[in-house]
Structure 1
Amino acid sequence: MLDTSTYISDVTATWISCPIPYEKQHVSDFGRIDSFDMALVTITLENGLVGYGEAKAAVGSQGSCQSLVAVIENDLKPQLVGKDSRNINQLWGCLYNGPRAGYAESEGRSFHVLGRKGLWISAMSGVDLALWDLAGKRLGVPVLELLGGASKDVMKGYASGGWADVDNIGEQLISYTKHGFDAVKMRVGIMDGSVNASVARVTAAREALGSDCAIMVDAHGTFNPAEAREFCRRTAELNLRWFEEPVSSDARGAMRSVKQNATMPISMGESEFTCFDFQDLIDRDAADVLQPDMAICGGMTEGLKISALAVANQLELAPHCWGSAFSFIAGLTLSFASPAARLIEFSLGANPLLKEMVNEVIESDGGKFSPPIGSGWGLTLNQDFVTEFSK
C-alpha cells in the first residue's frame, strides 16, 4: 500500500501585520514605517507534520499581503494538495510552468506561466521555504545539512539600519558597533533631498566610525544615473564596502553605467525574481554583489541557483534579510552553504517579526553568526503573536 504520510494535505497563508510603536519607527524613502508585514505560509502533511515559509509583498517591512494570500490559497494550493512534499524541485517546476510543466520536465527548460515575476514568484517563495522546512523536519536535521553543510565555520554579520540625519548618524551607527558588528549599513538617496546631503551624512558616518569599520550605503534605487555617479565620485575616498541599488533596478543600462564609473562595489538583487533576473544582471555587468531575498526570489530552490551563478562568475553573494525570522534563517542558511557569501544582513531597526514571532532568540554573537541548528529552519511559532497580529 502506498505510504502517503509525506503528501500535502493543506496549504494556508496568513497576512501578519504587527504595528511598530511610534518611538521605534523610522522614516525613509518608503515613508514612516509603522508596521512589519509578511505572508506566513503553512503546509501540513497527511501525517500532521507542519512546515513554515515566508512570502513578501514588498522589499521593505510594509506592504499589503492580501493579494499574496489570495495567490497562495486560490492558485498555488490546488496544485499542491495531494502531492508528495519530498519532490521540491518538481513542485517548484509545476508552479512555475503551470499547464506546460510536462514539457518543461521532458525538454529540460522552462515553459513559464505569465506570472514569472512579481507576486506569483513571491508566493512560490513562501511555499518553497515551507517545503524545505518540512524536508528538514522529516529527517530531523537543519536545512543546511540537506544542502551539504556549511562552507565556513562562522558568518560575519553587518548591522542594517542608518536613517539618522547628519548630526546623529554617527551616534546611531556607533550604537550598532556596540553589539559587536564591525560592518554597518545606512540609507541614502531621495530621502536626503540631495546628493550633497547624502554625501554629508556618509562623510559624518566615516568620521564617527573611523577607518576600520566597513560602511555600506543603500539608495533603494532612488538616485538618477547622474546623481548616482556624482555620489560615487564624491565618496570615492571613504572606502565604502558597497553601494546598494544606486538607481532603479529596472534601469539595467543605468546600473551598468554607474558600476563602470564606481570605485566601490555595486550591489543589488533584493527585488529580483528567479535566476533569470540575476543572469541578466551578470550579462549586463551591472553588479558586483548579488542580493536575493529568499521570500521574494523563489525560495531556497532558486537561491541555490543564484548562489551557483555568483560562484561561477566570481561575484559576492549577500542575501537580503529584511524580513521575519524565517527569511533571515533561510538567508543565513544559503550564506553558510555558499562559498560566495561573506556577510549576512541583520536588521537593527524595530523588527517584531524577527524578534517576537518565533520562540527562539535570534541574535549575533559579537557581530557573528553560527550555522543554524534544529530541524528544518529550527524555528517554532509564537502562536499568541500570530493570533494577535493576523489580519
Structure 2
Amino acid sequence: MKIRDVWVEIFSQKVDLADFGRGRDLVVIRIITDEGIDGISYVPGFSHIPTSLSNALKEIVGGVVRDNIVGMDPTSIEAIWDKLFHRLTRWGRRGIVMHAISGIDMALWDIIGKISGLPLWKLLGGYKEDVPAYANVAHHLPPKELAKKALEYYEKGFRAFKIRGARTEVSFEEATERIKAIRDTLGYDVKLMVDMNGSLDTHQGIEYLRRWERYDLYWIEEPLHPDNLEGYKRIKRYSNTMIAAGEQHSTVHDFRILVEEELVDIVQPDASWCGGISEWLKIWSLATAYGVPVAPHALHPIHAHLVAAKPNTMWVEYFYPDNPLYSLVYEVFEEPRESLYAERGFLRAPKSPGLGLKLKRSN
C-alpha cells in the first residue's frame, strides 16, 4: 500500500468570540492510498484574528508535506513522522508546522485502524468503553447567564465544568463573579476549573490563585505563557490549587520539562498540536511513568479513543453543539456519534474502524 495523494479542505464558521475573533476554521486532512483506504483527521480552532492561519496550514500540508510522503507506505508511521519532523525542523518545531505533522499522523492512525478492522481505542489498548467528560462552559456570557448554562449542563449529567477567566477576555473582577455565580448555583460538590489561556504574568498568577482559594477550584489551566517555565515553578510553589497545562506545548521534549521539573500537576496534550497520536502516546508514557494524570485538551471525537485506550487518563473536554468555540465540528462530521455526543457526562468508545470520522454528505 502506498500514499497516492493528500487532500486538504478548510471549513469556516462565523462566530463572535471577543478575543478569539469573529470566525473559526476547521481543517480536514484526507490521506488517499492506492488501495482505496483513506485516512481522515482534522485540526480545529483557527480563529480569525482578524484573519486565520488555516490557509497557511493548507499550503504546508498540500505542498511540502504532501511532496515528502506521497509514495510512502502509510503504515510506516514512525518513518513518516521522523522524516517530516527533521525535514521541517528549521521552519518550526511547534506551531503551524507541528499542526501539519499532527494532522497527517492522526490520519495515518485512521488508516492503520481501518486496515486492522479495529477502532483506534481497541488497537491501542482497549482499557475502557465509557469515557468520562467534563463540560467546557467557555461561553462569553454575563456571570449569571453563564451559571445558567452550567446548570443546563449539570441537568444533562455533567459534574465537572470549565470556564474562561483569561485577562484577554474579562477582568479579574468579572472572572471572580463568574466563579462565584457558578458556585452559588451548583454548590461545591461539582468540580470547577478556570482556563486562563496563558494570559497572566507570574505575579498575577500567584495573586489570582491566592484570592480564588476560597472557591475550591479543581485546577487552574494555563495561568502563564507556555514558555514562562520559571514562572510555573514559582506559581506551583505558592499554590494550593492544582495547575494544568500542555495544550500549547509540542512533542515529548516540551512535556519532559513540565513533568520532570514538576511544573504542573496535570498535563493536557492535544493530539492536533503536540505531534499527533504518535507523540501523544509518548507524552502519555512519560506522564504515566512520573504519576502525572493526563487530561487531553479539546478534540473530543479523537481524544475519546485515547482516553478509552489507556489508564492514567482523567477525562475528555466536551463541547456541546451550542458552544461556539468548537461547534463547527458538528457541522462538518456526522460520525462517530458515540464520541461526538455525550450522554450523562460520558462519551462512548466508537465502534467503527480507525477514528470513525465521517464527513456529512453536504460536505
The TM-score normalised by the length of structure 2 is 0.92
Match of 1:50 in 2: 38
SS at match of 2:313: coil
Structure 1 pair 26–59 and aligned structure 2 pair: CA distance change class (3 A): closer
Q: CA deviation at 1:114?
A: 4.4
**Counterpart residue identity of residue 341, structure 1:** T
- How many Å apart are 1:113 and its aligned residue? 4.5
Question: Shift of residue 338 of structure 1?
Answer: 2.4
- Partners of 1:283 and 1:58 in 2: CA distance: 31
User: Structure 2 matches for 1:81-96, cutoff 5 A?
Assistant: 81-96=70-85
Q: Which residue of 2 aligns with 1:143?
A: 120
AA aligned to 1:13 is: V
Q: Does residue 1:253 correspond to 2:243, yes or no? A: no
* 1:30 equivalent in structure 2: 20
Deviations 1:96-148 (CA, angstroms, capped at 9, x unpaired): 1229xxxxxxxxxxxx5442222111100110011011111122210112212
Give distance in 2, aligned partners of 1:36 and 1:176.
23
Which amino acid is 1:369 matched to? L
Matched, 1:353 2:328: yes
Contact 2:126–2:310 (Cα < 8 Å) also in 1: no
Q: C-alpha distance in 2, partners of 1:276/1:37?
A: 28
Q: Once the two structures are aligned, what percentage of the paired residues are identical?
A: 29
Which of structure 1's runs of 4+ aligned residues deviate more than 6 A?
59-62
Q: What SS does the aligned partner of 2:180 have?
A: helix
2:5 corresponds to? 10
Whether the 8 Å CA contact 2:124–2:309 is kept in 1: the answer is: yes
Structure 1 position 273, deviation (Å): 1.0
2:64 to 71, 75, 78: 75
Q: When the two structures are superposed, what TM-score results if normalisation uses the length of structure 1?
A: 0.85
**Counterpart in the other structure of 1:222:** 199
Q: CA offset at residue 18 of structure 1? A: 2.4
Check whether the contact 2:31–2:38 (CA below 8 A) recurs between aligned residues. yes
Query: Secondary structure, in 3 states, of the residue corresponding to 1:376?
Result: coil
Q: Which residue of 2 aligns with 1:330?
A: 302
**1:192-203 pair list within 5 angstroms:** 193-203=170-180
Match of 1:324 in 2: none
Are 1:205 and 2:195 matched, yes or no?
no
Aligned to 2:218: 241
> Which ranges of structure 2 fall in alignment gaps of 5 or more residues?
none
Match of 2:135 in 1: 159
Query: 1:183/1:381 Cα in 2 relative to 1: closer, same or farther (>3 Å)?
Result: same
**Counterpart pick for 2:297 among 288, 311, 320:** 320
- AA of the residue aligned to 1:357: V
Shift of 1:172: 2.1
Q: Give the 3 Å change call, closer, same or farther, for CA 136–60 of structure 1 in structure 2.
A: farther
The structural deviation recorded for 1:376 is 0.8
Tell me: CA distance 1:59–1:96, structure 2 relative to 1, closer, same or farther (3 Å).
farther
Report deviation, 1:193: 4.5
The answer to whether the 8 Å contact 1:56/1:65 transfers is no
Q: CA deviation at 1:95?
A: 0.8
| Deviation by residue 1:212-241 (Cα, 9 ceiling, x = unmatched) | 111010011112222211111111122211
Does the 8 Å contact 1:57/1:65 carry over to 2? no
User: In structure 2, do the counterparts of structure 1 residues 172 and 252 end up closer, same or farther at CA, with 3 Å as the change threshold?
Assistant: same
Change (3 A) 1:59 1:148: farther
What is the deviation of 1:48? Answer: 1.9
Within 2, Cα distance between the matches of 1:352 and 1:267?
24
CA contact (8 A) 2:24 2:46 kept: no
RMSD: 2.1
Contact 2:197 2:222 in 1 (8 A): yes
Describe the SS at the equivalent of 1:294: coil
Q: Displacement, 1:352?
A: 3.7
SS in 2 for 1:44: strand
Whether 1:264 and 2:241 are equivalent positions in the alignment is yes
- Counterparts of 1:373 and 1:16, CA distance in 2: 26
Q: Distance in 2 between matches of 1:229 and 1:14?
A: 43
Change (3 A) 1:59 1:215: farther
Give, in whole Å, the separation in 1 of the partners of 2:113 and 2:361: 21
Q: Please give the per-residue CA displacement for 1:61-110, whole angstroms capped at 9, x wherever unaligned.
A: 983311111111111111111111111111111111229xxxxxxxxxxx
- Give the paired residue count: 355
* Shift of residue 328, structure 1, vs aligned partner: 2.4
Of stretches 279-288 and 75-84 in structure 1, the one that deviates more from structure 2 is 279-288
SS at match of 2:132: strand
Contact 1:186 1:217 in 2 (8 A): yes
Is the 1:154–1:369 contact (alpha carbons within 8 Å) kept by the matching residues of 2?
yes
1:221–1:245 CA contact under 8 A, matched in 2: yes
- The match for 1:372 is 350
Work out the CA distance in 1 between the residues paired with 2:134 and 2:276.
22
Relative to structure 1, the CA distance from residue 168 to residue 306 in structure 2 (aligned partners, 3 Å threshold; closer, same or farther) is same
